[in-house]
Amino acid sequence: MNEYNELLNGSFCLSRVGNEIPESPAIEIIDYEEGVSANKTAKDAMLFFVMEGAINATYGFAENRLIEANHFFLIPPLASYNFSFTKNTKLYCCHMTEEIFLCRKDKPELLSEVCERMKLVDQDSDLFTVESNSNIINVLNSSSANIKLGLQWPDYQRTIIQELQILISAYYSDEDLAHLFHSIFKGDIVFKAIVLQNRNKLSTVEEFAAAVHLNRNSFRKRFTDIFGINPSDWIISNRAEQVINELKKDKPIANIVHNCSFSSYPNFVRFCRNFLQNTPAALRKQIRSMENPDVYKFLKQK
């Protein structure tokens, strides 16, 4: 009852205890002072909203593009970019790490399918900016205040990104959205780089598909076209190679289970039996007797 009265009296404040900023937050709110610059590489798709001030942005074919307050734009994964600031500027950045849907009143549609349908996938990279409407500005302002108060929880941040995604889908045309987001779907080099970057972090086709913002079927087709192998087979052989490399070392099996991202020891043993045709202990003995163990020699025994 006392806590409820505090809320009514307006004296309630979120405690920061246990609400530390996540190691990889979904939302970052960054203040830049006049005269500074930022030269970085995007680790994933980054949707930037300019809340205050302005940016001179260089990315792709855009050089020193002026982007003023109340506009937003996207930088694709692994892209290099440079921002310089001629006035104090506040940026609100959303890390888009999941599949992007157009949220309509009927069935949601993957944004990648819209881009393909509109023949925008292979356009040259450029900075396409969109003006923020009042609904988006309200969400940015309220969520910024909440995050400042201590709402650092990942679930809250993902919910805000979903809300922004719904608003963008509702208030902007398919053409605007395709131009805004097309760069994260274009180019085999970016696709291949993201897959290889996550080869020891992800373990299912669904996880890899989400990393490149494609559905399972689109991912399978594109992966096979680029790598010349079914993604399921590639994932198995890649994980088997990681296991063999770990078994070479003088490490406890429990450490190998963790390092190779198996959920449990029984799952690790099951993988070894199913795909490497032996128990971990027998495999370790076999591997150590070989000068240059080749993962494919083990896989071909199946």
pLDDT at 80: 86
pLDDT at 179: 80
pLDDT digit string, tens, across residues 209-252? 888 877 888 888 888 888 888 999 999 888 888 888 888 888 88
Nearest to 82, CA basis, from 102, 106, 57, 105: 57
Placement of tokens 């032996």 in the chain: 278
Q: Which residues contact 102 (CB under 8 A, 6 or more apart)?
A: 108, 109, 110, 111, 114, 169, 174, 177
Domain ranges of the chain: 22-184, 188-228, 232-299
pLDDT at 198: 81
In CATH, what is the architecture of 22-184?
Answer: Sandwich (2.60)
Q: Is the pLDDT of residue 110 over 60?
A: yes
Nearest to 278, CA basis, from 243, 230, 245: 243
pTM assigned to the model:
0.62
* CA–CA gap between residue 84 and residue 82 (Å, rounded): 7
pLDDT at 302: 44
pLDDT digit string, tens, across residues 34-80? 999 999 988 888 999 999 999 999 987 788 899 999 999 999 887 88
